[in-house]
Amino acid sequence: MSVSKQSAPADPSILAALPTIPRQGDTPVFQEPWQAEAFAMAVALHEGGLFSWSEWAAALAKEIKAAQAAGDPDLGDSYYRHWLAALERLVVEKNIASRQQLDLTKTAWDRAARATQHGQPILIENDPDRIR
């Protein structure tokens, strides 16, 4: 199964600060919608003052180094998993959310996805275990 690549325009200063980001010209390239969402979350949190780009780059480099030490072959398909791990780590370190809150939210989204009919948007409200 091939995945069509998606792209989104980005502020050139962001791309300059993140030289390893997969891109086509001046545009980041995403192979899955969640990758674009993770990128957008990092940009929004940076713009909200949660972290500087140098702090972000250090956190991402730390995640990539740890993954490589654990055996990640770095074939280019894991970059945004490292991106998301770095984002989660910073959110926890900055006390925006706890690891437990992140894990509970991931589980809720997973249940919502499983409960959503094919072709319909996945909404957290679709989580059958959600307290109403």
pLDDT digits (tens, 9 = 90+) for 42-96: 999 999 999 999 999 999 999 999 998 999 887 777 888 999 999 999 999 999 9
Q: Is the residue at 26 inside a domain?
A: yes
Residue 130 in any domain: the answer is: no
Predicted confidence at residue 95, as pLDDT, reads 95
* Cβ burial 71-89 (10 Å sphere, 16+ → b, else e): ebeeeeebbbbbbbbbbbb
In a domain, 62, yes or no: yes
**Digit-coded pLDDT (tens) for 108-130:** 999 999 999 999 999 999 999 98
Q: How many domains does the chain have?
A: 1
- pLDDT for position 9: 45
Does residue 120 fall inside a structural domain? no
Does any domain span residue 17?
Answer: yes
Q: Which helix (H) or strand (E) holds 90?
A: helix 79-93
User: Closest by alpha carbon to 10, among 94, 30, 104?
Assistant: 30
* Cβ–Cβ under 8 Å, residues 89 and 68: no
Which among 48, 33, 27 has a CA at the least distance from the CA of 3? 33
> What single-letter amino acid sits at 4?
S
Res 87: pLDDT:
95
Q: Which residue range forms the structural domain that includes residue 32?
A: 6-96
38, 83 Cβ separation under 8 angstroms: yes
pLDDT tens digit sequence for 4-38: 344 444 566 665 555 566 767 777 778 888 888 99
